[in-house]
Amino acid sequence: MFKKEALTVEQQVQKLQKRGLIIKQPKIAEKYLLNISYYRLGEYWHVMQKDKVNHIFKPNSVFEDVIALYNFDAKLRLLLFDVIEKIEISFRTKLIYYLSHEFNPYWFENSSCFKNTFQFEKTLEIIRKEINRSNDVTIKKHFEKYGAEKSPPSWKALEQVSLGVLSKLYGNLKPSIKSKKIIAREFGAVNHIYLPSWLQSITQIRNHCAHHSRLWNRNLPSKVKLLSNPPNAWIVDAKNVPKEHEFHKLYVHMCLMKYLLNTIIPNNDFTKRLCSLLQEYPNVDPNALGLKINWQNEPLWKY
């Protein structure tokens, strides 16, 4: 039976000090612990412990370094969320535009467009639920004008759903559909085989950002497919190309974000902002993100 009692912030500070964490200003540490939970911060001090069973810290482990890591991660999430927003909006726009012209505004309700009928029905159910519970003024006006029986067209309906739902719609489209190939080419993915795994990766990281979850030193389970010969600027030094066993690190996913962003906004400031963030926190180990040596000098990141 679980018998641990809740600790006050004063007791939490004392516990950390007893375990070897150097806390120069206990009152300030208490303030942090009252605003950022003990176990949330624990994700950042975990690597500082030499004995992870008894939670004993390595010599010279300092509370201020924990806070620096936490702040770095928070700023990293904001940076990536901003990049993902641009990718998501572009993908949403292309999906709605091309499919609506190839078929009609209600293509997302047309089962003949999709490979897997069960997945199609499941995705459509999610879309309809999101539409029905939406407070968006566009949706409300649509139903006021046309009644509840008439579904909103794709340019209204698909603005209400998540990137995850959109990526499932795209991935389930039949390979013969021209728009699927066009969208992949416009994002530099050559064909539709690669893009779904990239979107899955980005969706997962977007969810971590949205829920304020740690990205620094996190293992990401996404399986991404990399092009052997990308048509756009990529990585030329073989040592800097992410290997499959490194796909759990953030680096490969940031490379894909940068690759996609370059097709939307050439000469964007992603590289500059990421470099500035790393310079602001010099104690952050780039290996925790999987960053390669001189990564910023690759054509992908110079673009």
3-state secondary structure 28-70: HHHHHHHHCCHHHHHHHHHHHEEECCCCEECCCCEHHHHHHHH
Task: Please check whether residue 89 lies inside any domain of the structure.
Answer: yes
Asked if residues 224 and 257 have their Cβ atoms less than 8 Å apart, the reply is: no
Q: What integer pLDDT is reported at residue 1 of this predicted model?
A: 65
- Tell whether 113 and 259 lie within a shared domain: yes
Q: Which residues pair with 56 in a beta bridge?
A: 51
Q: Is the pLDDT of residue 46 over 90?
A: yes
Of the candidates 68, 90, 131, 94, which has an alpha carbon nearest to the alpha carbon of residue 282?
68
Q: Is the pLDDT of residue 285 over 70?
A: yes
- Tell whether 15 and 152 lie within a shared domain: no
- Tell whether 217 and 242 lie within a shared domain: yes
Distance CA(268)–CA(264), nearest Å, equals 9
Residue span of the structural domain in which 21 resides? 9-61
- Tell whether 25 and 92 lie within a shared domain: no
Q: What integer pLDDT is reported at residue 2 of this predicted model?
A: 64
- Tell whether 298 and 181 lie within a shared domain: yes
Cβ within 8 Å of residue 202, ≥6 positions away = 84, 87, 88, 163, 253, 256, 257, 260
- Tell whether 50 and 115 lie within a shared domain: no
- Tell whether 163 and 268 lie within a shared domain: yes
- Mean pLDDT across 248-256: 96
Distance CA(117)–CA(105), nearest Å, equals 20
- Tell whether 49 and 186 lie within a shared domain: no
Distance CA(58)–CA(73), nearest Å, equals 22
Query: What b/e string do you get for 188-223 counting C-beta neighbours within 10 Å, with b at 16 or more?
Result: bbbebebbbbbbbbbbbbbebbeeeebbbbbebebe
Asked if residues 108 and 127 have their Cβ atoms less than 8 Å apart, the reply is: yes
Q: Is the pLDDT of residue 147 over 90?
A: no
| Rg of the chain on CA atoms, in Å | 23
- Tell whether 172 and 98 lie within a shared domain: yes
- Tell whether 255 and 160 lie within a shared domain: yes
Q: How many CB atoms lie within 10 A of CB 88?
A: 19
Condensed to tens digits (0 to 9), the pLDDT of residues 62-113 reads 999 999 999 999 999 999 999 999 999 999 999 999 999 999 999 999 999 9
Task: Please check whether residue 295 lies inside any domain of the structure.
Answer: yes
Task: Please check whether residue 209 lies inside any domain of the structure.
Answer: yes
Task: Please check whether residue 1 lies inside any domain of the structure.
Answer: no
- Tell whether 235 and 297 lie within a shared domain: yes
Task: Please check whether residue 2 lies inside any domain of the structure.
Answer: no
Domain count, the chain: 2
Condensed to tens digits (0 to 9), the pLDDT of residues 159-213 reads 999 999 999 999 999 999 999 999 999 999 988 899 999 999 999 999 999 999 9
Q: What integer pLDDT is reported at residue 293 of this predicted model?
A: 87
- Tell whether 238 and 166 lie within a shared domain: yes
